[in-house]
Amino acid sequence: MSLRSFLNQAEDVNKISSQVEPEFEPGSLASQDQSKPIVFNNIKDYPDLKLVSNLASSRELIANSLGVKRNEILFKLSEAFKSLQECEESDESIDNYQHFSEPDIEKHFPVLKYYSKEDEDEVKAPKYLASCMVVAKDPENDVQNLSFHRMMYHSKNKFTIRIVPRHLYEIKDKVEGDLEVVIIRGVDPRIELAGATSGSPDMNEFEYANSLMNGGLELMDIDGFKIPAETEMIMKGKITSKEDKEGPFVDLSETWDKERQQPIFEVNDLYMKEQPYMRFLVPGKNEHKHLMGLPQEPRIYNKVRETVPTVKNVVISKGGCSWLHGVVQIKKRNEGDAKNAGMAALAGHPSMKKVTVVDEDIDPSKPEQVEWATATRMQPDKDIVFIKRAKGSSLDPSQDYENRLMTKWIVDATIPFEEKEPEEFERAKLPKEDEINLEDYR
C-alpha cells in the first residue's frame, strides 16, 4: 500500500485546483476542513508536485485506514503490538526515482511557512518540514528505528532537527561524529501511526506497521537502509555534531515552543518520484495531535489493566492537546477503582496532567458525554485527587518552568456506589433509539 493507493481508495477527498502560495496558504486552507484528506494540485513555482494533508486528522479517518470502527482503534493498535510481522522485500528500486546530489532543497519542493510571530520588533516565520520520519540504525544491534521529527529549514541542504531524549537521541549518542540516516515523507498513514508510536528500543516500527497493514508492507533497499516501497520522497544524509538555532515552533498545545540549539541535518541525496505527492502536517492542528496522542493509548490501557482489569477503553482527548488530558473508561466494581485507574493512567503516560475516569456507558471519545458524567456523577470535594509537585510535560505552558513541576489531577466521574442507587444516575433513552435510523424513513 502507498500514499497514492490510500488516496484512491478514500471515500471523499478535498481536491484544490486553484493555485496556492507555499507560504501560509496550504496550512491555513487545510485547517478549515479537517474532516477529510486534502490535495493541492496547483502549487505556485512547483507545477510538478502536489501537497497532501489531513490523512489522519480525525478518529474516523484513522479507523477507516485500519479497517475498524471508531471505538476499536485502541484494540487494533494493541493487537498489532502482539503480532509484529516481518516485511517482504519489494521489487521497487531506488534507481527508479529522480536523484539529486547535494540538493538545493527549495529548487525541488517547497518548505512551508505555517505561523509568524512578532518578537522584539522582529517577525519570525520559520520554514518547517513537520511530517518527516527518520530511519536510523542502532549501531549495537543494527535494529532500525522509525520516528517523527520536525525540521527547520536554514539554507540549501541544511536543516536543524528537533531531537528529544528518546530512541533517536540514544542512537545518536552511541555514535562518534555524524549519524547516517534516511528521512522518508509521503507513505501510507498506517506507517505514520507506527512511526509515531513509542515502542521498546528493540522494536522495528516497520514490522508494527506491517501488522497494522495486515501484511501489505514491502520494503526496498537504499544503501543498507530498508524503507517502504513507493515512498514519495526520500532524503539521505547525516545528523551532524554541529548545532544551530531551532524554533520558534507551534507545538501540540497551539502555543509557541521556545527556541533552542539542535543538531544540523545535511541532505546528501534527494530522491523523488515523478510528480510526487508531498506530505505535510499543520503544527498544532488535528492531524499533529492525533499522530502524537493516539499511539499512547495502548500503553496507557495496558498499564491501567494491570491495576483495574475491567478497563474498557482509553482516549487521549483532543481538547487536552492530545497529550495532557485523557479519559479512561472502566466497568466499576468497587469504590476506589476509578482512582486506582487514574493513578495507573498517569504512570502509563507521565506527560499527562489530568485523567477523567468514566463508566462503561460513557463514550470516552465524546467530550459532551464525558462532561455530562462529570456534571452528574461527581462532587469535587470527594472525587478529585491532586498530585502536587509532579514532573510533567514541557508542552504545558502553565507549569513551574524553574523546577519543571506541576500538579496533576484525577477526576472520578463514575457512578458513586455509596448513599444512592446506581439507577438514579442512568441516562434516559428513547424507545427504539438504537433500533431505528432516520435515513431509513426518508
Query: Which three three-digit cell numbers place residue 178?
Result: 555524524
On whether the CB atoms of residues 266 and 238 are closer than 8 A, the answer is: yes
**What residues does 20 pair with on adjacent strands?**
43
Name the nearest CA neighbour of 151 among 198, 195, 184, 103.
184
**What residues does 183 pair with on adjacent strands?**
134, 235
Helix and strand totals (H; E) in the chain: 12, 26
Residue with cell 478514500: 10
Query: Whole-angstrom Cα distance, residue 133 to residue 131?
Result: 7
On whether the CB atoms of residues 54 and 37 are closer than 8 A, the answer is: yes
Return the SS3 of 328. strand
178 carries an active-site annotation: no
Task: Determine which one of 188, 251, 359, 396 is catalytic.
Answer: 251
Query: Whole-angstrom Cα distance, residue 47 to residue 20?
Result: 11
On whether the CB atoms of residues 237 and 9 are closer than 8 A, the answer is: no
Query: Whole-angstrom Cα distance, residue 260 to residue 331?
Result: 45
On whether the CB atoms of residues 160 and 128 are closer than 8 A, the answer is: no
Q: How many residues does the chain have?
A: 442
Query: Whole-angstrom Cα distance, residue 70 to residue 240?
Result: 42
Residue with cell 484494540: 75
On whether the CB atoms of residues 161 and 151 are closer than 8 A, the answer is: yes
Strands (E), 26-172: 38-40, 50-53, 88-89, 98-101, 112-113, 117-119, 122-124, 127-129, 133-137, 144-148, 151-155, 158-161
CB atoms < 10 A from the CB of 129, how many?
25
The separation between the first and the last C-alpha atoms of the chain, rounded to the nearest angstrom, is: 38
Report, as residue numbers or ranges, the catalytic residues: 251
